[in-house]
Amino acid sequence: MSGKTLTRADLAEALVRKVGLPRNESQELVELILNEISGSLANGVTVKLSSFGSFGIRQKGERVGRNPKTGKEVPITPRRVLVFRASNIMKDRINAGLLRRKAAE
Amino acid sequence: MIKSELIQKIAATNPHLYHRDVERIVNTIFDEIVDALARGDRVELRGFGAFTVKHRASRQGRNPRTGTPVAVSEKFVPFFKTGKELRDRLNDHA
């Protein structure tokens, strides 16, 4: 694996390059899109992006956890967690890319 | 919310952009993430979350109905870890 990390700046750069938008507007749009998704999830609304995947919310009940350092039992409060399910298209594209890469090594 | 609704919302707040441009913008962002993962890179969006890929080695599986052993080939699986800020936002202490 090449092990690079992409950030918001790289996504904005892609908009500059592929859509031809100004850099500052690209940055704003990346932020706006992530915010729109976060807002929907915060309202408990699932976000389904065809050919990418879906972000959903799962409600977790209270359970007993343990402080790994001290071994003390502590209650873990009920909470909402995000689950991401990749689409088959995304899985296929990743496997096609990485298996080919691996075979070439 | 589905992709077309996301596009609709972004278009509504950016009236100077054509609808088809907003479509391209949204698609470009998600394609870029998938392309990065398919190259073996990771994508980290602070406050939102990080996309990574995990490797699963080939293994001997079993058909749960018949019990016959089947070979499961190696594969790569995408993984998303929620960012701290978003995790807090889901639980109302943002």
CB B46, CB A20: distance < 8 Å? no
For A78, left (φ over 0), alpha (ψ -120 to 50), or beta? beta
Domain with B52, as residue range(s), is 44-94
Percentage of the residues of chain A whose pLDDT score is greater than 70: 98
Same structural domain, B33 and B17 = yes
What domain count does chain B have?
Answer: 2
Name the residue with tokens 């359970």: A63
Q: Considering the entire predicted model, what is its pTM?
A: 0.90
CB A37, CB B6: distance < 8 Å? yes
Amino acid A2: pLDDT: 59
Amino acid B33: pLDDT: 98
- C-alpha A87/C-alpha A85 separation (Å) is 6
B30: nearest CB among A46, A52, A98:
A52
A91: nearest CB among B29, B42, B77:
B77
Residues with Cβ within 8 Å of residue A92, at least 6 apart in sequence = none
Closest to B11 in 3D by CA, of A14, A13, A32: A32
The average pLDDT across A58-69 equals 93
Interface touch B90/A49, C-beta < 8 Å: no
Same structural domain, B67 and B80 = yes
Amino acid A88: pLDDT: 97
- Whether the CB of B2 is below 8 Å from some CB of chain A: the reply is yes
Closest to A49 in 3D by CA, of B62, B23, B41, B72: B23
Domain CATH for B76? 4.10.520.10
ipTM of the complex: 0.90
Same structural domain, B48 and B3 = no
**Residues linked to residue B55 through DSSP beta bridges, in sequence order:** B76
Residues with Cβ within 8 Å of residue B44, at least 6 apart in sequence = A5, A6, A7, B50, B51
Same structural domain, B31 and B65 = no
Predicted confidence band at A105 (pLDDT cuts at 50, 70, 90)? confident
Extract the residue ranges of chain B whose pLDDT is less than 50.
Answer: 94
Residue A49 has pLDDT above 90, yes or no: yes
The average pLDDT across A2-13 equals 92
Same structural domain, B52 and B92 = yes
**What average pLDDT does chain A have?**
94
CB A42, CB B80: distance < 8 Å? no
CB B43, CB A34: distance < 8 Å? no
Interface touch A97/B41, C-beta < 8 Å: no
A70-101 confidence digits (pLDDT tens): 989 999 999 999 999 999 999 999 999 999 98
Residue A20 has pLDDT above 50, yes or no: yes
Amino acid B94: pLDDT: 47
